[in-house]
């Protein structure tokens, strides 16, 4: 059973950021110049928007099991999680030259690898991200954070008897 307050909060979130994307091409100015991006994409902002969307989906796939990614990606401007922005930019700026079959510069490849490592570590529960936790509604109607489950086996030892 979904509470009315959850629906209202969700609608407020949608209305607050109506049509405001989490990341736009101009945000990439800390990792590249607009001129280079325009040169690679032939000044087609739809390509940049598509790549941003694809990279957001990658991040949601990795982080969505334990974190409320709808809320995280609904934030705009200074309210955005800085780590999420940093690693999203790394993914996007890596993918842009690949779209045209161009070689990815080494610095961009290193930033991409760092971003993917962060995603993998957070997804595995080895690291925690400063993101809103995913919630589940309990039988009594309250909500609680979905916790991390690490599946590991105990080391087996040989018996010598």
Lowest mean pLDDT, pick from 45-49, 63-67, 91-95, 146-150: 146-150
pLDDT, tens digit (0-9, with 9 covering 90-100), for 98-134: 887 878 889 999 999 999 999 999 999 999 999 999 9
Enumerate residues 6+ apart whose C-beta is below 8 A from 31. Answer: 89, 90, 93, 108, 111
Task: Decide: 59 and 69 in contact? Cβ < 8 Å.
Answer: yes
Predicted local confidence at residue 110, as pLDDT: 96
The pLDDT of residue 105 is: 85
Per the confidence metrics, is the pTM higher than 0.95?
no
- What is the distance between the alpha carbons of residues 31 and 108, in angstroms, rounded to a whole number? 8
Task: Name the residue among 41, 73, 45 with its Cα closest to residue 58.
Answer: 73
Spatial distance between the Cα atoms of 84 and 62, rounded to a whole number of angstroms: 12
Instruction: Please report the DSSP string for 86-152 in residue order.
Output: HHHHHHHHHHHHHHTTPPPPHHHHHHHHHHHHHHHHHHTTSS--SSPBPEEE-TTS-EEEPPP----
What pLDDT sits at residue 151? 47
- Please report, rounded to a whole number, the percentage of residues in the chain having pLDDT higher than 70: 81
pLDDT band for 6, please (50, 70, 90 cuts).
confident
In angstroms, the Cα distances linking 27 to 9, 48, 60, 75, 140 are: 28, 11, 20, 14, 43
């Amino acid at each position: 059973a979904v509470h009315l307050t959850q629906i209202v909060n969700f609608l407020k979130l949608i209305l607050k950021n109506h049509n405001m994307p989490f990341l736009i091409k101009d945000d990439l100015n800390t990792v590249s110049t607009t001129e280079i991006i325009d040169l690679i994409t032939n000044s087609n902002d739809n390509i940049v928007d598509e790549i941003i969307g694809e990279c957001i989906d990658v991040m949601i796939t990795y982080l969505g099991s334990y974190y409320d990614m709808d809320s995280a990606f609904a934030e705009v401007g200074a309210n955005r999680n800085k780590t999420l922005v940093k690693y999203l930019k790394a993914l996007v700026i890596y993918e842009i030259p690949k779209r045209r079959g161009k070689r990815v510069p080494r610095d961009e490849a290193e930033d991409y690898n760092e971003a993917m490592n962060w995603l993998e570590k957070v997804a595995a529960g080895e690291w925690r991200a400063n993101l809103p936790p995913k919630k589940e509604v309990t039988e009594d109607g309250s909500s609680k954070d979905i916790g991390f489950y690490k599946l590991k086996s105990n080391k087996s030892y040989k018996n010598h008897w």
